[in-house]
Amino acid sequence: MRLLTHNMLSSNIRGVVNGFPLKIEAVKVVEKSVDMNTDFLKNMFEKIEWKAFVEASVSMGYTELPEEADSSMLDSDEFLSRFHHALLELHLEEGVLVCPETGRRFPVSKGIPNMLLHEDEV
Amino acid sequence: MVVTTSTPTRFSSSLLCYCYSRTFPHFQKNICNNADVTATTSTVPFSSRRRRSRRLLLSMAVKTREQDMVLEEEKKKLQIGIAEFYDESSGIWENIWGDHMHHGFYDPDSTVSVSDHRAAQIRMIEQSLNFASLSQEDPTKWPKSVVDVGCGIGGSSRYLAKKFGASCVGITLSPVQAERANALAASQGLADKVSFQVADALEQPFSDGQFDLVWSMESGEHMPNKAKFVGELARVAAPGGTIIIVTWCHRDLGPDEKSLQPWEENLLKKICDSFYLPEWCSTAEYVKLLETMSLQDIKSADWSPFVAPFWPAVIRSALTWKGFTSILRSGLKTIKGALAMPLMIEGFRKGVIKFAIITCRKPENDEKGE
């Protein structure tokens, strides 16, 4: 699971008001490099919730992102490369995503989050 | 995900009961009527009537909770059945048909050969995008984020990601499919753009309004609660986003009809059992649901003539040596699925089953009239 995906995931357990962002407990993080696509990054930047993204990348062991960001920073190669690395090259292979309100743990195994809810959570 | 093991016989008979009871609601009502419920009459003294009414309400409340629990239990069994069916069958499908687990779009009454099907499956995607008036000429109007609901092994996700340069997430109940989908994405150099999760389409693990394109290609037929399914599609669509549903429906009911004919329901019930499908609905019912959610530009069409060559072709592939032995090796669920294929042809031929496309748009924020 990359942080691009994590930034979209939310806990929708019944009764939860704000299930985003899920906290990451990383057990195994793998770096897989991928070619940078600037247009793609610029499109994704508009959709990313930045604070949650920075928090998540710290949980994955990457601390090089600025606390805040705006679209003017997309002109900087340095920023783009850090953004690209955190967004797309860090993979959570094994770990847990934790609902911020209920503490419910969603497993991530072989890079795949299992977000299925139990019967009493729907 | 907890997976319970059960013999196919026990599971399929309980699923059959589920399909039966969903198809014939009076089956459940009869259970209720057999309970200890008495009607009040005017000759009974008032205080006794009040006690009886309280008992009646209490017993109805207990019955409703019990029925809810039964429904939840059946829904869980359906979910597990779907996951296991695709865990078992996806590999053989991919082997013979490739990575798109949906019908091809053909010229009506054409005869097609095996090599035409891949192109037809791509054509199905392109025709669906066109039908939804998804602007393809202007890249600034392309969807940037896509959700593939019931993604299979990710054929649509990868295609849409490549076409639009979009980020795609797919959800499936089958861990085997999710893993295979990710592996295919990696091997095609798309791992940065597409990702796959195990999740329930009726409880999508996404915040509201995330996706410019919400894509459901032949997964709607698996959803036990159509209203919830459509509600989730609408919820996760971004303002101004497009929703595309391509699914199997039963024919629309006539103005005087309250349900399908018994023989039609019997046919669908048999298919339900083999393909892990809950109760079918009609295209008109989908349209009505979308209307209740204030979605706009709702369009629908019957594409049954354009998919007619598909099932005969699937049967032909199953009867080849490779197809036949693969089915036998895959397991009981796949075998049962294969045996149901002629029923699909019968359903289409007799006009019971329709291959439907329904598309719409979520209003922009400032368009909402409410």
Residues 43-102 of A with CB under 8 A from B: 43-44, 46-47, 88
How long a stretch of residues is chain B? Answer: 370
> CB count, 10 Å around CB of B35?
11
Alpha helices in B147-225 (DSSP H): 155-164, 175-187
Q: What is the pLDDT of residue B13?
A: 36
Question: How near does any CA of chain B get to the CA of A88, in Å?
Answer: 6
From A84, which residue of chain B is nearest by alpha-carbon distance?
B192
pLDDT per residue as tens digits for the range B187-236: 999 999 999 999 999 999 999 999 999 999 999 999 999 999 999 999 99
- Per-residue pLDDT tens, chain A, 122 aa: give them: 999 999 999 999 999 999 999 999 999 999 999 999 999 999 999 999 999 999 999 999 999 999 999 999 999 999 999 999 999 999 999 999 999 999 999 999 999 999 999 888 88
Lookup: tokens for A72: 């003017």
Quick check: A30 and A119 in contact, CB under 8 A? no
Nearest-angstrom CA–CA distance, B209 and B363: 11
Nearest-angstrom CA–CA distance, A4 and A46: 12
Question: How near does any CA of chain B get to the CA of A87, in Å?
Answer: 9
- Which of A32, A39, A112 faces B165 most closely, judged by CB atoms? A39
From A34, which residue of chain B is nearest by alpha-carbon distance?
B192
Whether the per-residue pLDDT at B339 is higher than 60: the answer is yes
Helix H or strand E encompassing A113: strand A112-113
Q: What is the pLDDT of residue B366?
A: 67
pLDDT band at residue B45 using 50, 70 and 90 as cut-offs: low
- Which range has the top average pLDDT, A12-16, B33-37, B140-144, B166-170? B166-170
Question: How near does any CA of chain A get to the CA of B228, in Å?
Answer: 11
Least confident of A2-11, B94-103, B266-275: B94-103
Query: Which of the pair, B42 or B186, is modelled with greater confidence?
Result: B186
- Quote the mean pLDDT of chain B: 82
Whether the per-residue pLDDT at B59 is higher than 80: the answer is no
- Which of B144, B169, B173 faces A8 most closely, judged by CB atoms? B169
Whether the per-residue pLDDT at B12 is higher than 80: the answer is no
Contact A8 B206 (CB under 8 A): yes
Query: Which of the pair, B341 or A21, is modelled with greater confidence?
Result: A21
Nearest-angstrom CA–CA distance, B223 and B213: 19
Question: Residue B25: which residues within 8 A CB-CB, separation 6 or more?
Answer: none
Q: Is the dihedral of CA B284, B171, A6, A35 positive or negative?
A: negative
Q: Please give the full DSSP string across B244-313, using - where no structure is assigned.
A: EEEEEEEPPPPTT-SS--HHHHHHHHHHHHHHT-----BHHHHHHHHHHTT-EEEEEEE-HHHHTTHHHH
Which candidate, B202, B207, B273, places its Cα nearest to that of B237? B207
In A, which residues are within 8 Å of B1 by CB distance?
114, 116
- Which of A10, A34, A44 faces B205 most closely, judged by CB atoms? A10
Burial class (CB in 10 A: 0-12, 13-18, 19+), B236: buried
Whether the per-residue pLDDT at B166 is higher than 70: the answer is yes
Contact A9 B197 (CB under 8 A): yes
